[in-house]
Amino acid sequence: MSSFTPDPCAGWVGGIDLGGTKIEAVLFDSALSRKTLRRRITPRDNYSDLLDALAEEVAWLRSQSGRPDLPVGIGVPGLINRQTGISVTANLPANGHPLAQDLAQKAGGKIVAANDCKCFTLSEANGGAGEGHEHVFGLILGTGLGGGYCLNGQLILGRNDLPGEVGHYGLPAYLVATHQLPLLPCGCGRVGCVETLISGTGIAQIAKTVTGIALSAEQVAADPSEPGNVKTLQIWSELTAELLHTIQLHLDPDCIVLGGGLSNIDEVDIILSKALDRIALPSVRRPAIVKPAFGDSSGSRGAALLAYGLTRKD
């Protein structure tokens, strides 16, 4: 069930999806319909350049809307400490900086920021593929792996914003042993996190184990009938089904919305639904596993929802 109701008196909002390679700035009207969009390459050399680029996007959104006080939300990879505002991110020069506060000081007006996976989930739970469901989990299967959890359209953040950080669950030992998979170091500092084999880079690791050839996730997905790729995708679906099963055991969502580049694999929602059916506890209802309604723009839309003032639960 959604907690977002369009309010024609609320005015327009801006949403920015800050990624490791690109920045997407989108202007939305009060019904969260996209009005205009632009993208640019993410500065990665230093924090000052990144801050300048974001301030330019905020200024552009405000010029397009005609509102110098336009509220803007930003989806950021990694975690943001709600007490200090400090960002913890591995692939941006914002690590260790209070990004939202610094940007608000530079650009003025209302600036809010949250984890990009959680913005995706917020979007899909409110008018997206999770609309009508009380418990919605958003699972990003991209270069990395992460997610978010919404109850009645509101984000559940916990004490440290950790709900949804499922990429750092441990890999299932029996599948690692059965398929002789490598235990790899994760960017979090641990070894054997599910992200290392289920993310886009993880599929490449599985493909190398299966075929001995260095293949990207895109190459595997582009030729799904090639025997080595068939085996790679089979192992990947088994691992991902175990992740889905763990999410169900922990949170029991009504709906799991898939996002990220791997959600574009042909019929991936059907493949993973069947894989989960094979291993789930008997006589329990399965969550609906669906593709996103807003695709690559769901992150910026979720960031706009935060700027719109949609509440979240701790």
In CATH, what number is assigned to the domain containing residue 156?
3.30.420.40
Residues 231 and 259 in one domain: yes
Per-residue confidence (pLDDT) for residue 32, from 0 to 100: 87
Residues 45 and 143 in one domain: no
CA 31 vs CA 12, 75, 96, 195: distances in Å:
8, 19, 35, 35
Let me know: does 114 contact 76? Beta carbons within 8 Å: yes
Residues 187 and 247 in one domain: yes
Domain count, the chain: 2
Residues 21 and 163 in one domain: no
Question: Which residue stretches of the chain have pLDDT < 70?
Answer: 1-10, 310-314
CA distance 299 to 16: 8
Per-residue confidence (pLDDT) for residue 87, from 0 to 100: 87
Is residue 226 classed exposed, middle or buried when 0-12, 13-18 and 19+ CB atoms within 10 A define those classes?
middle
Residues 34 and 65 in one domain: yes
Per-residue confidence (pLDDT) for residue 311, from 0 to 100: 43
CA distance 292 to 289: 10
CA distance 217 to 299: 22
Residue 287 CB partners (closer than 8 Å, separation 6+): 137, 244, 248, 252, 253, 254, 255, 256
- Residue 36's DSSP bridge partners are 27
| Residue 301 placed within a domain | yes
CA distance 169 to 33: 36
Per-residue confidence (pLDDT) for residue 62, from 0 to 100: 96
Kindly state the DSSP code that residue 284 receives in the 8-state scheme: -
> The pTM is what?
0.90
223: tokens are 């030729």
Per-residue confidence (pLDDT) for residue 5, from 0 to 100: 60
Residues 149 and 246 in one domain: yes
Domain with 283, as residue range(s), is 134-292
